[in-house]
Structure 1
Amino acid sequence: MEDLSQEEWAEQLANDDNAVVLDVRTDAEVAEGIIPNAIHIDIYKGQGFIYQVEELDKSKNYYVYCRSGNRSGQACKIMEQLGFENTYNLEGGMLQWTGDVVDMD
């Protein structure tokens, strides 16, 4: 797992052909907007989160975010335990995100 600043995360993501963006927030938070092309798996679903994450392709690079950076950091640690080698945590999360956001309505 690597903690990346907002700038590092966005820049690395833009140049990564093997990237997957993962949003680990709640449904209510996601309703307020999501980073384009992100997959949403709520970390608060506990074992359900683990089941869904285990279905993902472990050869991809995962750019993980939440509201503030705490849950996404936990998600990266869980993913590492499950065998994911490349996870990148967005420091500051959506609270500091200045990039594109898509409305989920």
Structure 2
Amino acid sequence: MTNLDQNTWWSQFSQDENGVVLDVRTEDEFNGGHIPGAINIDIYKGQGFIYRVEELDKSKNYYVYCAAGVRSSNACNAMEQLGFESTFNLIGGFSNWDGPVE
């Protein structure tokens, strides 16, 4: 896992043809606004989170965020244990995000 500030996280993702944005907040949080193109897998679902993440392509680069950066950090750690090689945690999370929002 690499922790990145917002500008680095977004600019790196924007240039990454192999990048996927992963929002690990709850569905309600996600529906209240999210980073464009993000897929939502709620880390609070426990084993359900693991099942959904294991369906993802491990060869992709995952740009992970939550509300403040703690859940996404935990998600990146869990993903690395499952064999994901490239995870990037958004420091400060969505609460500090000033980029595009859907």
Residue 51 of structure 1 is matched in structure 2 by 51
Q: Mapping of 1:55-74 within 5 angstroms? A: 55-74=55-74
What TM-score does the superposition give when structure 1 sets the normalisation length? 0.96
Query: Which amino acid letter does the alignment assign opposite residue 60 of structure 2?
Result: K
- Runs of 4+ off more than 6 Å: none
CA distance in 1, matches of 2:2, 2:79: 12
Residue 33 of structure 1 is matched in structure 2 by 33
Three-state SS of the structure 2 residue aligned to 1:62 is strand
Residue 7 of structure 1 is matched in structure 2 by 7
Uncovered stretches (5+) of structure 1, i.e. residues with no partner: none
The size of the alignment, in residue pairs, is: 102
Query: Which amino acid letter does the alignment assign opposite residue 49 of structure 1?
Result: F
Aligned-pair CA distance for 1:15: 0.8
CA distance in 1, matches of 2:34, 2:8: 19
Three-state SS of the structure 1 residue aligned to 2:68 is coil
What TM-score does the superposition give when structure 2 sets the normalisation length? 0.98
User: How large is the Cα RMSD of the aligned pairs?
Assistant: 0.5
Identity within the alignment, %:
64
CA distance in 2, matches of 1:71, 1:51: 17
Query: Which amino acid letter does the alignment assign opposite residue 46 of structure 1?
Result: G
CA distance in 1, matches of 2:96, 2:32: 14
CA distance in 1, matches of 2:95, 2:34: 12
| 1:92 to 2:92 alignment | yes
CA distance in 2, matches of 1:31, 1:61: 24
Query: Which amino acid letter does the alignment assign opposite residue 78 of structure 1?
Result: A
Deviations 1:24-50 (A, max 9, x none): 001121121011110100000000000
